[in-house]
Amino acid sequence: MTAISLTASKSALAVSLYSVTNLGSLTGQAYSYATGINDSGEVAINSLASSFFYSNGSLKKISPLPGDNQLAVTGINNLGQVVGNSVGNNNLTVNNPFLYSNGITQPLPIQNAIPYAINERTQIVGGATGLGPFLYSDGKASSIGSPGNVAYSLNNLGQVVGILSSNTAFLYENGQTTNLGTLPGDEYSVANDINDSGQVVGGSGLTGVDDSNAFLYSSNTGLQDLGRLRPTDSFSLGVGINNLGQVVGFSGSNNDFFAADGNGLRAFLYSDSTLYDLNDLIAPGSNTGFILTAASAINNKGQIAGRGAVNGKLNAFLLTPILSVSVPEATSAFPILSFGAVVTLFAALKRKRHSSSAVIQQKLQENKAMT
């Protein structure tokens, strides 16, 4: 089965094979990427022209706020609620945050803000001019840090993660902000996602995402280096994590994280202390035309959303587990440090500072390296 060996070994691990659904083909556009997925398999998707809500095999187009004509979606919860921001052609310097629910796009009462994530309590986090990192709850937005900091994700307990103005990852809980630091020798880190156990995923590098290693954090273990997929890779980044501790992200050598040819980028899954190239886990007979370049999110059923290259086009994808096989535990010269476990977009991505355009901002949000 492609690159997977089914031969049992002393330390065999169970891993799923996946079917591939090309969500990008449903949009009718040559460029699309998924930023989030919920436990019902519903997916938030962006393209250059539009944003979409995928559910049960069909797409619904999400409208921008009145007066705006561009938008980008960033997160989705198990209630099928989606957050994002929209802008107008005549005012690309103002980001208008919104909540999409039951087919309706509603403004959030926050000025010039970008929301990045929403939990099951309809709490929303992001970054805003003036407020800095914000937590929106019960109809009110509150600052949870200094301007220049940005909150990228939260769990159902209200724990929040993101990046400080000092370019290091943070964890916020019970009114206190903890600087998570970096891997040894690094000066940069970003926290992209957190699960309900308080496990955090992100990246740590000398200067930024372009030379980072994906990490996994817990209060018991600190930062754990997840490594990179291949010896030639110059970076890896954890983007999403589920409540089982499975991590998704991407690894590669191409700094164009949205490359439509798939060159130098591969989506990964970290599970059972092992890093897998998701391209090696596609079931025979599924859509083998895809090169899976980045995984943005993974739900608690093991479904994965992200983006990949197909015939020179960048398309959103959905992976669904279809069976488990036993594979020998990795014994390469690049071992993964043990830790039971980011993503988006998506995901979505950051490099150093907020972009003013909704579309550009969302493209950066999934790399998760910008404040």
What local confidence, expressed as pLDDT, does residue 272 receive? Answer: 93
pLDDT tens digits, residue range 185-227? 999 999 999 999 999 999 999 999 999 999 999 999 999 999 9
Which tokens sit at 204?
């740590």
What local confidence, expressed as pLDDT, does residue 15 receive? Answer: 80
Integer CA distances (angstroms), 21 to 25, 47, 239, 332, in order? 9, 17, 20, 31
Would you say the C-alpha torsion 290, 294, 297, 302 has a positive or negative sign?
positive
Quick check: 328 pLDDT over 70?
no
Q: How far apart are CA 351 and CA 365, in angstroms?
A: 8
Which tokens sit at 71?
């938008």
- Partner residues linked to 297 by β-bridges: 305
pLDDT tens digits, residue range 121-153? 999 999 999 999 999 999 999 999 999 999 999
Q: How far apart are CA 27 and CA 59, in angstroms?
A: 8
DSSP string, 261-287: T-TTEEEEEEETTEEEEGGGGBPTTS-
Name the residue among 366, 367, 345, 364 with its Cα closest to residue 354.
364
- Enumerate residues 6+ apart whose C-beta is below 8 A from 340: 199, 245, 272, 273
Report pTM: 0.86
Q: What percent of the chain has pLDDT over 90?
A: 78
pLDDT tens digits, residue range 256-268? 999 999 999 999 9
- In one letter, which amino acid is 282? I
Name the residue among 312, 370, 365 with its Cα closest to residue 24.
312
- What mean pLDDT do residues 156-160 have? 98
